Structure 1
Amino acid sequence: MSRDIVAEVREAVAAVPAGSVASYGDIAERIGTSPRQVGRAMGLLGEGVPWWRIVRADGTPATCHEGQAPRLLATEGTPMRGTRVDMRRARHRGEPPVPPTP
């Protein structure tokens, strides 16, 4: 049975609560793939997923969607340090990784 990486990324992204963020690497670790694969899958998620809550490891918000991520993060009260997310305060640790189903 093949994995549906897009569905796994969608589920992991949806689990990040408002006011918190996860890095591409955090999501990759949770689902057992690479940050690059997470980035590719993010581009296929469509509407209804809080894409702005996924940031680079240094806290830099996404630049897609006409640069709306910083505004959306601010609206949710996400802790910031200048133009970057304060990863120490805002990082969502989530649940421990679940091994992929064979």
Structure 2
Amino acid sequence: MKVRNKSGNENIKTSGTSGTRKIKDEPNDATSRICLALALVPMGRVVTYGSLAELAGLPRAARLVGQTLRKLPKDTRLPWHRVLNAQGKISLPEPGAERQKKRLENEGVTLLNGKVDLGIYLWPKPGEL
């Protein structure tokens, strides 16, 4: 059975399940907010999935940030490579992890043992916004 959610996107309810699944991948308000916040991250700085969610006004939505980044077009100009996990590590599998590492290093971000020092590179620092 097809249903429409509050934002007008079409969902599908499958029998025997308790929920619905989105069947359209149209941008929504959350996606737009994540992309706008990501565009603000300056070169040579990084954010965590959780802090990007907070910046987008979506607290506790770190997984949504990851899902949104995964759906970005390959040729996006958004700085997806500046997003790391809460430990300052790259979460992507290869070969994406190597691409992300190279992009960060090209911006002057240092990775030591596969980890970025968030004390140095995390954005924003208190008072920067």
- What TM-score, normalized to structure 1? 0.81
Alpha carbons 1:6, 1:42 under 8 Å: kept? no
Q: Between Structure 1 and Structure 2, which shows a larger proportion of helix residues? A: 1
Greater Cα radius of gyration, structure 1 or 2: 2
- 1:83 matches 2:99: no
Please give the root-mean-square deviation of Cα atoms over the aligned residues, in Å: 2.0
Alpha carbons 2:47, 2:122 under 8 Å: kept? yes
- 1:40 matches 2:67: yes
Q: Deviations over 1:36-84 (max 9, x none)?
A: 1111111223211111100001001242572211111111001333311
Q: Which amino acid aligns with 1:54?
A: V
Give me the whole-angstrom Cα distance separating, in 2, the residues matched to 1:25 and 1:88.
16
Greater than 6 Å deviation, 4+ residue runs = none
- 1:61 matches 2:90: yes
Of 70, 73, 85, the match for 2:101: 70
- 1:13 matches 2:42: no
Q: Which amino acid aligns with 2:80?
A: W
- What TM-score, normalized to structure 2? 0.65
Aligned length: 95
Q: Which has the higher contact order (CA 8 A, sep 6+)?
A: 1
1:98 maps to which residue? Answer: none
Q: Between Structure 1 and Structure 2, which shows a larger proportion of strand residues? A: 2
Task: List runs of 5+ in structure 2 lacking aligned partners.
Answer: 1-5, 8-27
Of 23, 32, 56, the match for 2:48: 23
Alpha carbons 1:22, 1:55 under 8 Å: kept? yes
Q: Which amino acid aligns with 1:59?
A: G
Give me the whole-angstrom Cα distance separating, in 1, the residues matched to 2:105 and 2:118.
14
Give me the whole-angstrom Cα distance separating, in 1, the residues matched to 2:91 and 2:29.
23
More divergent stretch after superposition (83-92 vs 37-46): 37-46
